Every structure is written in C-alpha cells, then in structure tokens.
Amino acid sequence: MASSSSSILPSPSSSISTANSQLSLPSSLWREPLTDIPTITLSPFLPHQLPPRPPQEAQQFGNGAPSNYRFQYSACTGRRKALLIGINYIGQPNQLRGCINDVANMSTYLHQKAGYRREDMVILTDDQENRMSVPNKANIMRAMQWLVKDAQPNDSLFIHFSGHGGRTPDLDGDEDDGYDDVIYPVDYRIAGHIVDDDMHSIMVRPLQPGVRLTAIFDSCHSGTALDLPYVYSTQGILKEPNLAKEAAQDLFSAITSYGKGDLSGMAQTAIGFFKKAAIGDSARQRTVMTKTSPADVVMFSGSKDTQTSADTFQDGEARGALSWAFIKTLQQRPHQNYLQLLNSIRAELEGKYTQKPQLSCSHPLDVNLLFVM
C-alpha cells in the first residue's frame, strides 16, 4: 500500500459545517468491487489535429441569461495547487484497498506531466502519522479552504477525492432527486459526512472568472458532488438550465454583487431570492440560481448520482477505476478535447464495470475545446 508525503495545512479560518454525530453508513452506499459485465467497447480515439485551446475573452452564458452575466475559461498558465484525498478506512468495516494508491499515482502524474510542484500539493491519506495529514472532516474542509484561497484568473486548482461516497436526503430543496451527494471522511462515524452543498460553497462560489478548478471524484453516487448545473454525456450536452427563467429572479444581481465584493448587497439580494425560492420554485431552478459560476469549474465523477463506483486491480495494485482510467488515457493521449476525454475514460471502463463516469461544469462547456488543467 502506497504512502505519500504531505503538506502541513494552515490553521482554520472559520468553522464551516455542523457535524452529524453517530452517523451510520448503509452498506448499500459503499464503493464495492463489481463483477465483469461484457459490453461493447468503444473504438479508441485517433487524434488527427490538436483541439483548439480555450478562448480568453469572456463568454456569455446564453440560453436566456442577461448579456452582462458571463464566464471565462482559464488558460491554466498561472499558479497550480492540488488537494489529494485518499481514504482506505483502515480497520473499519467495508475497508477499501485502492484509494491511497490513487492519491500516490495522481500526485506523481500531476508533478511529472501537469506541472504541479510537490510543495503546492496537500495530501491527506489515512496511513499518515501527522495528525494534520489525516483525512478527517476538519482537515478536509480546512484543506478545501486552502485550495481556493487567493486564487487568481488563469490559476489551475485541482482536487482529487478517492473514497466512499453516498447520498443523504436533501434538506434545502436544491436537488432534483431529493438527495444530496456526500463524501465520507475517515471520522464520519463521529464527525459526519460532507455534503455537496458545503463543498460547492467552499470551493466553487468564491472563485473569480478565469480560475480553473478541476475535480476528480472517484466515489459512489458522485455524479454531481460539486453541484455543478451543466452535465454532459458522451454525446455532448445532457442537462443544462433554462437561464431565461433565472433572468427574472435575483441570481444575476447577487453574483454581480459578489464579484464586486459587495457582500451586504449580496446578502440583501440573497434574502429576496430565498423568499422567492421558498414559494413553489422547482428544485432545478433553485439549484441553478445558486450553483452557476463565472469561474471555470470542471468535474469528472466516477459514476452517476444513482451508481456505485468500483475498486479495481490494475498494473499490479488496487486502484479506483476512475482514477486509474483518467491517468491512463491522458498519459496515452494527452491532447484530447473534453468529449474525447470522457469517451476515452468510459472506453477504458466499458466491459469491466457498470459505472458510467460523468462530466459536469459550472458554465456552458464547449466540449470540443482542448482539455487543459
């Protein structure tokens, strides 16, 4: 079992989430080994030319959004920071085998192939003795704050989580299916899980236009683990919001206030928004009104919200299936567009696992652009 070096986390700046004490995790939500199921394997992608790089000018959301509400792709030429979390739940029921290996392999890939310096990585795994490097709830949430702190346009941030995920009843009405996606820290039985709403609030909402956050969630029920509203399948667009409905609401003025640092204005706008949201708006409308972002946030998840993710055995060691496939396909074909990368990942897993990795984004994504991070 691989172990890895770690960075010492800064002191917490604030308390973020209330712990759920004595949480019992249903066995149906664990990431479990899956048996091989024969399916048709996709043909490998054979690139003929390099996909276009992301444009640097501001982009309109379209689809009914106000013309002054825009997002910006990141060139990923600025500072790089990475947070890597791998939890095997050593000595606990339903222990995993590959998550610590996933983090070791991902850190090597990021350092050798993607320009991330070791000193700009925080690594949390449950085989470490340093208490600040243990992936408990407090350390994970503090590390998420560290990841996005002081991020500037064209910076490239990266978060990788390999461990157990699950679902919990949605308490704020922002999920279509009535469930929030959650991840389980090593101390979940005492401290509770971490909900997708909290992860979005910490890592997505503070980001400026042009900041890239790339997220890899290799866990069960992880399809919308960051609550990103644009979801893509191997055929392209799968789900996108109708922003024409949002234009009549207070979303865009709230985001404008936030971008200008006008927190008081944002607070007043948010009060008005939530009053409206409480009176009969659909879960989908509320999600989009709070979860779109002018930043450049892209996530690959190990499975749909309703699926489990698999531990696998590849290249002589236990791995998470998505973590392994993501690294392998980029090592073999580093210059793919987003749609090609998603198809390549799925092709690696097809015929072996039933899970279907997903791609989601904080803004409308041109899936024909070159994947950069």
What ranges do the domains of the chain cover? 49-241+292-361, 243-291
Residue 286 is given by DSSP the state: H
Q: Residue 368 corresponds to which tokens in the numbers above?
A: 């024909």
Sorted by sequence, the CB contacts under 8 Å of residue 69 that are 6+ apart come out as 60, 61, 252, 255, 256, 294
Query: Within the chain, which residues score under 50 in pLDDT?
Result: 1-8, 10-24, 26-30, 32-47, 173-175, 177, 248-288, 304-310
Identify the DSSP state of 60.
E
In angstroms, the CA 88 to CA 127 distance is: 8
Coil vs helix vs strand at 179: strand
pLDDT of res. 66:
74
pTM over 0.85: no
> What are 281's two structure tokens?
């708006």
CB–CB of 209/61 below 8 Å?
A: no
3-state secondary structure of 239: strand
Please identify every residue annotated as catalytic.
164, 220
Rg of the chain taking only CA atoms, in angstroms = 20
Is the distance from CB of 180 to CB of 197 less than 8 angstroms?
yes
CATH of 49-241+292-361, one of 3.30.390.10, 3.40.50.12660, 3.40.50.620, 3.30.428.10: 3.40.50.12660
Distance CA 288, CA 240 (A): 9
Sole residue written with tokens 């002054």: 68
**Could you count the other beta carbons within 10 Å of the beta carbon of residue 12?**
14
Helix H or strand E segment including 217:
strand 212-218
Distance (Å, rounded) from C-alpha 272 to C-alpha 257? Answer: 14
